[in-house]
Amino acid sequence: MSQKILHQQPPSLLAFAALLAGNIAIAFGPLLVRFADSGPIATGFWRLALATPFLFFVGYRFGFRFSALGKSTIWLATIAGLFFGVDIILWHIGIFQTKMANATLFANCASLILVVYGIFVARKMPSKWESAAVLFAFVGAALLMGQSLDLSPRHFQGDILSLAAGLTYTVYLVLMMRVRQNTESWGALGMASAVAAVILLTGSIVAGEQVIPTVWWPVVLLAFSSQFFGQGCLTYALPHFSPLVIGLALLFQPALSAAAGWLAFGETLTAMDFTGSALVMIALVLVRKQ
């Protein structure tokens, strides 16, 4: 299989399904992070360390060859991995210092930034369906954010950490879009994950965390749901869609995380939460129509 991936291939139903499925799997990650008894940074390390060998194995089966990559692609994947590692450190710490919906929403500020970035890169105004989707998504995000903006000190630090995670995640996604133009998805994600795992292990040791978990099922499930399947599907979908569409799809995660927080930890959901989630889902329907 050729290492060169066409960037302008038309989006398929499979690619759109992968985009949504990946976001669904990633959205339940905070739930598993809370269940893990290792430190939050160490949990992120196991998420990557357990998944990375399988990512490379699947990538090899689909034609990934490290020796065939150009230096620029390797450097881009390395830098992407650095940002991904910092993103997970910030997000996993933030998950314990705010509500699950808050952590996911602020971490996915990347979605709003990518929407603006997508319009800038395209150098043209969105179509009527894209404009409607952007409007619904922004209003939905505003409603969700309005509910999560609890200015009490107990949530403030976690919200700031999650927001910083969102900014680093934006850089990671933009870099991975470029990496995916030159290689297949699983190997690309494997390279970034390997670099990020080193960052996380170092951070966990420096922070003095418990690195080895006593209960393994949360980190194993996190590795294969959020990282292998979730990020794998998302990375596969990257070259099939514009940054605008990727950004809108990321807004699906806060709605699902809010539901997970309600089911697992009794976190309150209001009518505005439901309305905001519904508007985000309508935006996704409009994007698919386009």
**What are the domain boundaries of the chain?**
13-289
Tokens of 163: 């927001």
Separation between Cα atoms, residue 145 and residue 129, nearest integer Å: 24
Separation between Cα atoms, residue 267 and residue 243, nearest integer Å: 32
Q: How high is the pLDDT of residue 6? A: 37
Separation between Cα atoms, residue 75 and residue 98, nearest integer Å: 35
From first to last of its 290 residues, the chain has per-residue pLDDT tens of 444 433 444 557 888 889 889 988 988 888 898 899 999 999 999 999 999 999 999 999 999 988 889 999 999 999 999 999 999 999 888 888 877 666 766 776 666 777 777 777 656 667 777 778 778 877 877 776 665 555 456 677 887 888 888 889 889 999 999 999 888 899 999 999 999 999 999 999 999 999 999 999 999 999 999 999 999 999 999 888 878 788 777 777 766 766 666 666 666 667 777 777 777 777 767 766 55
Q: How high is the pLDDT of residue 5? A: 39
Tokens of 199: 């960052």
Angle at 153 between CA 150 and CA 158, to 5 degrees: 75
The greatest distance separating any two alpha carbons of the chain, rounded to the nearest whole angstrom, comes to 54
What single letter denotes the amino acid at residue 161? L
Torsion angle in degrees (nearest 10) through CA of 98, 196, 3, 54: -90
Please, are residues 79 and 199 in contact by the beta-carbon 8 Å criterion?
no
Can you give the pTM of this predicted structure? 0.82
Q: How high is the pLDDT of residue 254? A: 67
Q: What is the CA radius of gyration of the chain?
A: 18
Q: How high is the pLDDT of residue 4? A: 43
Please, are residues 103 and 95 in contact by the beta-carbon 8 Å criterion?
yes
Nearest partner of 233 among 250, 257, 216, judged by Cα: 250
Sign of CA dihedral 120, 101, 254, 202: positive
